[in-house]
Amino acid sequence: MLEKFVNAIRYHLLKDIESTDDATQKLFEAILAGEPDTIKAAIAAGSNTQLLDEHGIITPLGKAILTMVFESSNAQIIEKILQGNVQETSQIDRDRLTTRSERSQNDRPSSDLTKEYQIGDHSLIFPIDHPLDIYQSTCYRYDLALGYIAQAVFQKYPDSCAIDIGANVGDTAALIQKYQSIPTLCIEGNPKFIKYLQHNAAIVGNIEVEKCFVGRDGLIVNFDNVNTQRGTASIVNAIDVNGCSASPLKSLDTILNEHQRLQNYKLLKIDTDGFDFSIIMSSLDIISKLKPVLYFEYDISFAVTAKTDALNAIAGLVDCGYKKFIIYDNYGNYLLSLSHQESEKFIDLNAYLSSNRYHSGKIAVYYLDICAFPEEDVDLFDQIIKIEIDRSSP
């Protein structure tokens, strides 16, 4: 019961974070991550530090403090935060917030506070601020559809492989392995996630890790401009030739040539926070050749050209022979299906997402997830649609 209570607090706190200003966001995230220096700086910058509002209702900051109390049972650091005396919160405090099991296993990512989360038979290590467990505790279908999609794909193609672009900490690879033991290539360029991905890949097994961002060969990612927050990272505004910390992108074709052991990919997942359309467009040749079932994030909020980019990506897939599309909302709920002859309906979906985000007053759906099926796998589309219709019954 206590765990559900804490999860509920964290979930609503994350929702509060999404609707507040940047300075207060940093304060909340620093508290959840146990970063005293950042907490001190956020308070000094004028962030609201009231725990109750004028009506006596707990504030988002209050929820953050309450979450820390329950999760760490450390009253000393809470007291120092409330007093604004956070300069005294030393490494000892951070150590006290870390469980004995975390400190005793040197192979775990150790520079940040971590938590464990079970996916299938595997207990994975996540950054403390990663929200997947929170979302799935309240949104019961969040990031789960790909599991039974993968199962259907690999029952038809048992000797094939999966590609996971934007692999994050390896949670999708673990979900795939829960349903079907299939070799998976996990591609991730964000250094914050790579150490968790490598650790979790060793736990799950049957995984190769490629440490890079995906795009056109020759483009550069400036790490200084990568937007990393709450378990996700976007490079939409980080494509640059300057910066003190930069790394070249690799095309999907180049990456696959470097992983010759894994061939015959029949499932491709892309989740890169707004860069999905660019990856699809730069990978159409290899997508047309492999014809994988393609599962990707459809988010038009990251760039002013996103609506056009999204439609171009769908048109590119249709030209490559993709005939059927299943659309999910960002909570994992089945929304509708479209054929390639109805691809103009994506204009309507763009209008819905835009209206929802900018004109509704409160966002109900942030983005969509799309599963695209080539002509030779329309039978898999029919199979998944039947599952979704059956699941919709009370």
Between 375 and 272, residue with greater pLDDT: 375
Percentage of residues in the chain having pLDDT higher than 70: 64
Instruction: Find the range with the poorest average confidence among 110-124, 191-205, 257-271, 372-386.
Output: 110-124
Q: How confident is the model at residue 42 (pLDDT cuts 50, 70, 90)?
A: low
Instruction: Find the range with the poorest average confidence among 49-63, 106-120, 319-333.
Output: 49-63
Residue 75 has pLDDT above 60, yes or no: no
pTM strictly above 0.75: no
Between 34 and 115, residue with greater pLDDT: 115
Spatial CA neighbour of 279 closest among 163, 165, 367: 165
Domains annotated for the chain, with CATH where assigned, are 2-97 (1.25.40), 115-391 (3.40.50.150)
pLDDT, position 10? 59
Between 45 and 238, residue with greater pLDDT: 45
pLDDT digit string, tens, across residues 79-106: 454 444 444 434 433 443 333 333 334 4
Residue 163 has pLDDT above 50, yes or no: yes
pLDDT, position 238? 43
* Average confidence (pLDDT) over 39-46: 66
Which residues pair with residue 373 across a beta bridge? 324
Most confident of 39-43, 53-57, 211-215: 211-215
pLDDT, position 281? 96
pLDDT, position 91? 43
Residue 387 has pLDDT above 60, yes or no: yes
pLDDT digit string, tens, across residues 347-369: 999 999 999 998 888 889 999 99
Start-to-end CA distance of the chain, whole Å, equals 25
* CA–CA distance, 281 with 270 (Å, rounded to integer): 12
* CA–CA distance, 213 with 250 (Å, rounded to integer): 6
pLDDT, position 235? 46
pLDDT, position 86? 40
Between 79 and 24, residue with greater pLDDT: 24
AA letter at 258: E
pLDDT, position 377? 98
Residue 56 has pLDDT above 50, yes or no: yes
Angle at the Cα of 381 (from 380 to 384), degrees rounded to 5? Answer: 85
pLDDT, position 93? 39
pLDDT digit string, tens, across residues 190-216: 888 999 999 999 999 999 999 998 988
* CA–CA distance, 165 with 279 (Å, rounded to integer): 9
Instruction: Find the range with the poorest average confidence among 35-39, 45-49, 134-138, 147-151.
Output: 45-49
pLDDT, position 237? 45
* Average confidence (pLDDT) over 39-65: 63
pLDDT, position 51? 60
312-320 own/partner pairs: CB under 8 Å, 24+ apart: 312/277, 312/281, 313/276, 313/277, 313/280, 313/281, 314/343, 314/346, 315/343, 316/280, 316/281, 316/284, 317/280, 317/284, 317/287, 317/372, 318/343, 319/284, 320/284, 320/287, 320/288, 320/291, 320/374
Residue 115 has pLDDT above 80, yes or no: yes
Mapped onto helix, strand or coil, the DSSP state of residue 259 is: coil
pLDDT, position 33? 65
Spatial CA neighbour of 174 closest among 152, 154, 195, 144: 144
